[in-house]
């Protein structure tokens, strides 16, 4: 090694410095490549496919936009850019993550017309082609239906209502939290007619509201109807009918006709022998029949009630039952 006064010469010093920098660069590249599957391919730079079936539902205070995108392609994109125009050029109003398929626009003027479109953005920030464009125009929205009611048969609930307008369809909304409804309706297609069937769970209350809708492409949805509460704890069964008592020497046999409600959980049977004590519960039954095994040596009366999830219905009654020995 050449030295000048015990020091490395300038030429030698520059050579060593350049060599060290090269080694550091190679080391850095090796570290950066560690764990990677390989260099990015041209596919990573391809435009992602566009969202499909962009649709809009216009409410008095919201425009709800929904769209489609293949679930198996979600991992290839960051998300979606939603764009809107009223006058002028389209402007981005929101970025939605790749799992999103719905957006509610509340910042708009009901007296203005708007156009919307949505585009996909891949992991490298490259945007794809535009979706279809939907246009929302100012319109008079339909009024809500009235007189909502329900009936239950086994595990099926049937909603019925009355319409105040002709030529409308309906969206049904359901929640288990009073007053807090999702943006998406329960029905997959607009409901025509004035009834709707839904599955029902007797273990918890639910709430419904209905909105009238018009339009073929963009749906124009009016205000919500009054809320209908369906709470099994409030269900009261009807009175059993045709209660009959047949007395024998050893027992009294009771039979009756079942009420119409299919959610009845059973029946309670009461007996009165002493008017001072009144009617006393003597047993229950899961079927419309009961046997009082106490010998009918004295006159007695019976009451039978149907029982719901929490409440007991009004009683059916048969009085002055007594066994008369045959001659």
Is residue 132 located within the same domain as residue 49? Answer: yes
Is residue 153 located within the same domain as residue 226? Answer: yes
Is residue 17 located within the same domain as residue 84? Answer: no
pTM of the model: 0.74
- Residue 327 falls inside a structural domain: no
Give the pLDDT of residue 3. Answer: 43
- Residue 326 falls inside a structural domain: no
Is residue 56 located within the same domain as residue 130? Answer: yes
Give the pLDDT of residue 103. Answer: 96
| Domain C-terminal end among 178, 203, 234 | 234
Is residue 66 located within the same domain as residue 92? Answer: yes
Q: Which of 304, 303, 313 is nearest to 263 (CA)?
A: 313
- Residue 159 falls inside a structural domain: yes
Is residue 223 located within the same domain as residue 250? Answer: no
| Domain C-terminal end among 234, 256, 282 | 234
Give the pLDDT of residue 326. Answer: 77
- Residue 126 falls inside a structural domain: yes
Is residue 286 located within the same domain as residue 211? Answer: no
Contacts of 120 (CB under 8 A, 6+ apart): 48, 49, 50, 51, 69, 77, 79, 80, 127, 128
Is residue 130 located within the same domain as residue 48? Answer: yes
- CA contacts within 13 A on the Cβ side of 26: 6
Give the pLDDT of residue 91. Answer: 96
Contact between 157 and 148 (Cβ < 8 Å): no
Is residue 153 located within the same domain as residue 212? Answer: yes
- Residue 120 falls inside a structural domain: yes
| Domain C-terminal end among 136, 158, 191 | 136
Contact between 147 and 225 (Cβ < 8 Å): no
pLDDT tens-digit profile, the chain (327 residues): 444 444 455 566 565 556 555 555 545 444 444 444 445 556 667 899 999 999 999 999 999 999 999 999 999 999 999 999 998 899 999 999 999 999 999 999 999 999 999 999 999 999 999 999 999 999 999 999 999 999 999 999 999 999 888 889 999 999 999 999 999 999 999 999 999 999 999 989 999 999 999 998 899 999 999 999 999 999 999 999 999 999 999 999 999 999 999 999 999 999 999 989 999 999 999 999 999 999 988 899 999 999 999 999 999 999 999 988 877
Is residue 258 located within the same domain as residue 219? Answer: no
Give the pLDDT of residue 195. Answer: 97
Q: Is 282 exposed, middle or buried (0-12, 13-18, 19+ CB in 10 A)?
A: middle
Is residue 262 located within the same domain as residue 314? Answer: yes
- Residue 141 falls inside a structural domain: no
- CATH number at 159 reads 2.60.40.10
Is residue 227 located within the same domain as residue 152? Answer: yes
Query: Do β-strands 289-292 and 252-257 pair in parallel, antiparallel, or remain unpaired?
Result: antiparallel
- Residue 310 falls inside a structural domain: yes
Domain that holds residue 28: 3-33
Positive or negative, the Cα torsion across 254, 256, 259, 265?
positive
Q: Alpha-carbon distance 113 to 60, whole Å?
A: 14
Q: How many domains does the chain have?
A: 4
């Amino acid at each position: 090694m050449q030295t000048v006064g015990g020091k490395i010469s300038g030429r030698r010093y520059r050579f060593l410095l350049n060599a060290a920098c090269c080694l550091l660069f190679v080391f850095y590249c090796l570290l950066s490549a560690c764990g990677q599957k390989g260099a990015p391919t041209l596919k990573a730079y391809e435009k992602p496919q566009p969202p499909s079936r962009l649709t809009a539902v216009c409410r008095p205070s919201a425009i709800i936009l929904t769209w489609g995108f293949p679930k198996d392609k979600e991992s290839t994109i960051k998300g979606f850019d939603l764009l809107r125009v009223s006058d002028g050029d389209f402007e981005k109003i929101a970025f939605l993550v790749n799992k999103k398929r719905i957006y509610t626009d509340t910042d708009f003027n009901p007296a203005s017309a708007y156009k919307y479109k949505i585009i996909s953005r891949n992991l490298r920030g490259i945007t794809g082609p535009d979706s279809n464009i939907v246009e929302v125009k100012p319109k008079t929205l339909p009024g809500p239906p009235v007189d909502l009611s329900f009936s239950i048969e086994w595990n099926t609930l049937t909603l019925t209502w009355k319409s105040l307008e002709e030529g409308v369809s309906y969206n049904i909304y359901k929640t288990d939290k009073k007053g807090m409804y999702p943006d998406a309706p329960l029905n997959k297609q607009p409901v025509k007619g004035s009834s709707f069937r839904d599955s029902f769970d007797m273990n918890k209350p639910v709430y419904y509201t209905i909105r009238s809708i018009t339009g073929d492409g963009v749906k124009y949805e009016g205000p919500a109807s009054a809320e209908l509460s369906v709470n099994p704890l409030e269900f009261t069964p009807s009175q059993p009918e045709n209660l009959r008592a047949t007395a024998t020497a050893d027992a009294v046999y009771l039979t009756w006709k079942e009420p119409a409600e299919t959610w009845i959980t059973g029946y309670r049977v009461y007996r009165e022998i002493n008017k001072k004590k009144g009617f006393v519960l003597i047993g229950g039954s899961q079927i419309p029949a009961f046997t009082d095994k106490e010998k009918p040596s004295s006159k007695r009366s019976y009451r039978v009630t149907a029982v719901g999830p929490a409440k007991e219905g009004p009683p059916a009654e048969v009085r002055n039952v007594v066994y008369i020995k045959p001659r």
